[in-house]
Amino acid sequence: MTNSFHFSDPKRGKALADAIAILAPPDPFKIVHVCGTHEMSITRNGLRRFLPETVDLLEGPGCPVCVTPARDIDTAIAIARTGAILCTYGDMIRVPGSELSLDEARSEGCDIRTILSAADASAIARKSNHEVVFFAVGFETTAPMTAVILLDDPPSNLSVLASHKLIPPALVALLDLPDNRIGAYLAPGHVSTIIGTQPYEESLDGREIPVVIGGFEPLDVLYAIALILRQHRDGTPKVENGYPRAVDAEGNPAAKKLLDVVFEPVDANWRGIGVIRSSGLGLRQPFQRFDTRDRIPVEVPEGKDEVPGCRCPDVLTARAVPSDCPLFAARCTPLSPIGPCMVGSEGACSIWFRYGGERPL
Amino acid sequence: MSTSQKDMRITQLHGAGGELMAELLDRLILPRLGDASGMGAIGLRDLDDGATIPLPSEARGELVLTTDSHVVKPLFFPGGDIGRLAAAGTINDLAVMGARPIALTLAAIIEEGFPIAELERIVDSFAAALEEVGVPVVCGDTKVMPAGDVDGVVLNTAGLGIAKTAVSDAGLRLGDRVLLTGSIGDHGMALLAAREEFNLRTRLESDVAPIWPMIASLLESDVGDAVHAMKDPTRGGLAAAANEMARKSGTCIEIVESAIPIREPVRGLSELLGISPLEVANEGKAIVVVAAGAADEALRVLRAHPLGAEAAIVGTVTDEYPKRVILGTEVGGRRFLDMPLGDPVPRIC
């Protein structure tokens, strides 16, 4: 309440609400964001109340653990079963694989540990005689941290099971799905602090769709929405930086360099979407000895990504909102989740359940 | 047993009912719990099978009885420890029922190997909290469990109080105003910050305190009769307590987010961990629901007490969505504030 600048300032909120109302499109218009933090801000602050009736605002594949395919989780479990210590971020622990979650594998006796930072995996490896595996998930925001531990004289018993994903290729893939009718993207601020604006311009070249990078405070989100609606009204779709206080057009050159030194783009499978070309990160040749897939090879069959009746695939592709799913809040709750979107705290279903997103007030 | 030896630890024999146990009680526990003579013919000092409490002289009113088991990790946290938490928790349960605490019991379940010096600190801290409100311990119990069967120390308490008119947590009426007696989220966030895996250094302290003196000043004031409901927002925080009140009374509580007192470090840590300050425990606060016309005076009375210096009017009781809580967000949005699911876990991003 004593912030020097109120990012929730009600007067500025009202001004933006008025601007959004003036810019309201006459026909249905769907804005998609791809970030759990955006969904959290939108839902927790009740921001959908500010949207004109014609505008829908949906979360697409914005939850990194939700888009991690079951087969990657199955692989992590198979590796943990060899006796290795498996470290990963807390959100990953309860996401269902084909048969088990990491949490369930842990109760079987596997040594699976929750860490808050990639550096913790290194620290655990330095203190251990066992193989230590970092199951690395996340978008461009978390991938540089994985790169750092591999460049910082990593202990020889550490390896990385990389399942990092890239946002711009997913934005393109979503547009190519049938009947998605995405009108604009609200692009994630923190991913953009790393990559800047150019990757969006390159990936979405010729797609004629407004892409506005937005921050996460309530006013940031409303501002970005106003910019999107203005582009739409004026017929001037482009990549626009609505979060200049954090995002440079060039991004973060140091972080980009780290990514480029350690990783190369690889095709990646996204749960609920399928394989997207050059949308994942694989370790480059000099780092292959730290690749868990080489170090601890395990045979894992095709994964089971879908659960009958669960509409996570539609939610992850922004073709449905959580309350469209018959399981939502009935059989599927954060305490007994059925699909990944109810598990990951960035998942739309989990956020809607916790913060009442399904009921516009 | 000599308590001068700092490395002394609890053994199974301390719980075996023999000489060692008698010594533990005589030398460590009883001297720390103040006047052990009790209130009636038989008190703590007598180490009998129970205690007697003379019938209260108040002509009218009701006895209020509460019980609680207390576990907390870490046992010692910034701003308090399990001893103070047990005392305050019990007294506050009585206080928000409108009951003056008159006696407490204390049972300790201790893990074999627990350092005796730490047990001394815990009992001292329990006693100090009771002294703030002048309430005696009248009887107790000690058990020792094998190492690994219990985590450190678990305390169980019962509290006996007397209320002229008991205040429930369901007495909300349409139009009532909702007050908080102070800042929200301090205890839960201080505990999260103290957990070593986060490796955080903050100035956060738990708010753990017995709040009966503040509540008494309100109930004894001119607007005492206008207090329709009270509840202490412990586990699950403001969100859980407000939802429970709305459900039980069939009313809708509308809370204004910007009116909720939240300290800056709590706000910062909640952003960092992705945990709402409205969903974590408070151990020295109350939600007080009063008739609209009495709200300003109730606020003045609360603020006049040191424990209520940051009190605020934060909401209104309506009939818009019965049994639900609505949060008017600072920026001007609106959403339901639902019952939290369980223990909040930090968000990874």
A11 contacts chain B (CB < 8 A): no
Query: Cα–Cα distances in Å, from B309 out to B208, B226, B302?
Result: 15, 20, 7
Q: Flag if A37 and B331 touch (Cβ within 8 Å).
A: no
Can you tell me the mean pLDDT for A274-294?
96
Does A70-165+255-295 match A10-63+168-241 at the fold level?
Answer: yes
Residue B260 and residue B180 in contact, taking contact as beta carbons nearer than 8 Å: yes
Residues in Cβ contact with A102 at an 8 Å cutoff, skipping those fewer than 6 apart: A73, A76, A77, A80, A86, A88, A92, A93, A94, A95, A110, A112
What was the pLDDT predicted at B105? 95
Q: What residues of chain A, 19 to 48, have a C-beta less than 8 Å from chain B?
A: 36-37, 40, 43-48
Q: Does A272 touch chain B (CB under 8 A)?
A: no
- Does B258 sit within 8 Å of A91, measured CB to CB? no
| pLDDT tops 70 at residue B347 | no
Q: Kindly state whether A49 is in contact with chain B, defined as any CB-CB distance less than 8 angstroms.
A: yes
Out of B267, B332, B348, closest to residue A90 by CB: B348
Q: How do residues B9-48 score in pLDDT, each as one tens digit? A: 888 888 777 788 888 888 888 888 877 676 777 888 888 7
Q: Using one digit for the tens of pLDDT, what is the confidence trace for B126-172?
A: 999 999 999 999 999 999 999 999 999 999 999 999 999 999 999 99
Q: Name the average pLDDT for chain B.
A: 90
User: Could you read off the pLDDT of A124-166 as tens digits, one per residue?
Assistant: 999 999 999 999 999 999 999 999 999 999 999 999 999 999 9
Q: Give me the interface pTM, i.e. the ipTM.
A: 0.71
d(CA A88, CA A97): 15
pLDDT confidence band for A358 (50 / 70 / 90): low
pLDDT at B2: 45
Q: Are B249 and B229 in contact (CB under 8 A)?
A: yes
Select the residue of A2, A37, A48 nearest B349 (Cβ to Cβ): A37
Which domains are assigned to chain B? 12-39+60-163 (3.30.1330.10), 177-336 (3.90.650.10)
A222 Cβ under 8 Å from any chain B Cβ: yes
- The residue extents of the domains of chain A are 10-63+168-241, 70-165+255-295, 315-355
For A236-241, which contacts have Cβ atoms below 8 Å and span 24 or more sequence positions? A237/A184, A237/A208, A237/A209, A237/A210, A237/A211, A238/A210, A238/A211, A239/A187, A239/A197, A239/A200, A239/A201, A239/A204, A239/A211, A239/A212, A239/A213, A240/A210, A240/A211, A240/A212, A240/A213, A241/A192, A241/A197, A241/A212, A241/A213
Does residue A146 sit at the B interface (CB-CB below 8 Å)?
A: no
Look at residue A1 and tell me whether its pLDDT is greater than 70. no
Class of domain A10-63+168-241 as given by CATH: alpha beta
**CB spacing of A47 vs B334 below 8 angstroms:** no
Q: Do B332 and A141 touch (CB under 8 A)?
A: no
Helices H / strands E in chain A, number of each:
14, 11
Q: Is the pLDDT of residue B317 over 80?
A: yes
CATH fold group of domain A70-165+255-295: Rossmann fold (3.40.50)
Q: Considering the entire predicted model, what is its pTM?
A: 0.79
Identify all chain B residues contacting A47, using CB atoms and an 8 Å cutoff.
Answer: 331, 333
Provide the pLDDT for residue A4: 46
Instruction: Calculate mean pLDDT across residues A301-321.
Output: 93
